[in-house]
Amino acid sequence: MADHSIIAMGLPESGKSTFLAALWHLLIERDIDTVLKFHSLTAGETSYLTRIAKRWREAKVQDRTELNGAQVVSIALRDADDAPVQITFPDLPGEAYRRMWEERDIDPPVADLLISGAILLFVHADDIRAPSWVVDNTALSKMLGLPVTEGAEVPWHPRLAPTQVQLVSLLQALRQPPLDIGPRRIAVMLSAWDKAAGEGLGPHDYLTTKLPLLRQYLESGADEWDWRVYGLSAQGGDYDSIDAAAPTKPDAARLRDLDQPSKRIRLLNGAHETQDLTEPLAWLMAADEDGS
């Protein structure tokens, strides 16, 4: 059986676990035609997938994946030619990627996972820290009548860096030792697309407008990535918190009312729209066959 490894990368709360939950639901439910089809679960945590998919169906948000709680699942699928393929899919905590950027540090088990496989790079489309200018912030504070101390230094922390700077740095780290295994395929997943769709931009234009540095970095071919960008709504709207005291979300109630939970999902590749979350996986895996 052909073995493929796909790494879900992304800063904290970028939609990695939600994607895996929705994918598992689709594969098990089989109510939507998908390029890759479920064959069997060969290794890893079935209970993890079952748990997150159940949470997803209930329209409740996933727990943050804990730093020591990385889950590596292996799913046996059948490809479009009905040949068996196995995908190993580590669901790593965004905290591990945050540490790579902020502390320039990587735990050896995480490094071991990152030295193989194509990349699903998740970016929460509604949680992008844009570059900002000190002069603009000062002018805004003055307009609002907030106190501004002239000449005072603003302490800098890597966490304050724009999202696109952090992501480009993460991708550059994959082309440097000890993680460099040559150029790979990357599917950029602009998650929570339901929040972004109102801007009327397609995924490419959204990337160009909101993350121009990332777009230029990918396009320039400096690190020779073979890339695509998708708009992904794995939930279809906001889910409820698991905190019973928190107010319920109108989106969550509407989504629970759909007769088929799979219909919550939207995936955009250019103008092409589908509910098939295996499509980007099939494209990423094809690189292994093409030898690219």
Q: CB-wise, 3 or 63, nearer to Mg ion?
A: 63
Q: How big, in percent rounded to 5, are the helix, strand and coil portions of the chain?
A: 40, 20, 40
User: Are 191 and 14 spatial neighbours (Cβ–Cβ below 8 Å)?
Assistant: yes
Q: Binding to Mg ion by residue 14, rule CB under 5 A? A: no
Closer residue to ligand GTP in complex, CB, 75/85:
75
- Looking at the Cβ atoms of 50 and 274, the one nearer to Mg ion is 50
d(CA 215, CA 229): 10
Pick what 194 binds: Mg ion, ligand GTP, none; C-beta below 5 to 8 Å, kind-dependent. Answer: ligand GTP
The SS3 call for residue 107 is coil
Q: Dig out the tokens for 29 from the structure.
A: 């439910």
CA dihedral defined by 127, 133, 135, 136, rounded to 10 degrees?
-40
3 state DSSP class of 219: helix
If contact means CB under 5 to 8 A according to the sort of partner, which of ligand GTP, Mg ion, none does residue 5 touch?
none
Q: How many CA atoms lie within 13 A of 116 on its CB side?
A: 12
Residues 64-93 that bind Mg ion (CB under 5 A): 65
Least distance to ligand GTP from the beta carbon of 228, Å? Answer: 18
Smallest gap from residue 137 Cβ to ligand GTP (A)? 27
Q: Whose CA is closest to 95, among 117, 73, 120, 69? A: 69
State the residues that interact with ligand GTP by CB under 6 A: 10, 12-18, 61-62, 64-65, 93-94, 122, 124, 191-192, 194-195, 233-235, 237-239
Distances (CA, A) of 73 to 17, 222, 289: 12, 32, 22
Closer to ligand GTP by Cβ: residue 14 or 34: 14
Contacts of Mg ion in 219-258 (CB under 5 A): none
Q: Rounded to the nearest whole angstrom, what is the least distance from the CB of residue 74 to ligand GTP in the complex?
A: 19
Nearest distance from C-beta of residue 260 to Mg ion, angstroms: 25
| Residue 127 beta carbon to ligand GTP: minimum distance, rounded to whole angstroms | 8
Q: How far is the CB of 99 from Mg ion (least distance, A)?
A: 15
Choose which of 14, 17, 34, 275 interacts with Mg ion (CB under 5 A): 17
Q: How far is the CB of 16 from ligand GTP (least distance, A)?
A: 4
Residues comprising the chain, all counted: 292
Question: Where does residue 156 rank: exposed (0-12), middle (13-18), buried (19+ CB within 10 A)?
Answer: exposed
User: Within 10 A of 256 (CB to CB), how many other CB atoms are there?
Assistant: 16
The partner in contact with residue 183, picked from Mg ion, ligand GTP, none with C-beta cut-offs of 5 to 8 angstroms by kind, is none
Q: How far is the CB of 239 from ligand GTP (least distance, A)?
A: 5
d(CA 223, CA 208): 18
Q: What does 90 interact with, of Mg ion, ligand GTP, none (CB < 5 to 8 A by kind)?
A: none
Question: What SS3 class is residue 210?
Answer: helix
Nearer to Mg ion, 124 or 264 (CB): 124
**Maximum separation of any 2 CA atoms in the chain, in Å:** 67
Considering beta carbons, is residue 64 or 104 the nearer one to Mg ion? 64
Nearby residues of 157 by Cβ (< 8 Å), 6 or more positions away = 102
Among Mg ion, ligand GTP, none, partner that 125 touches (CB below 5 to 8 angstroms by kind) = none
Which residues of this chain interact with Mg ion, rule CB under 5 A? Answer: 16-17, 65
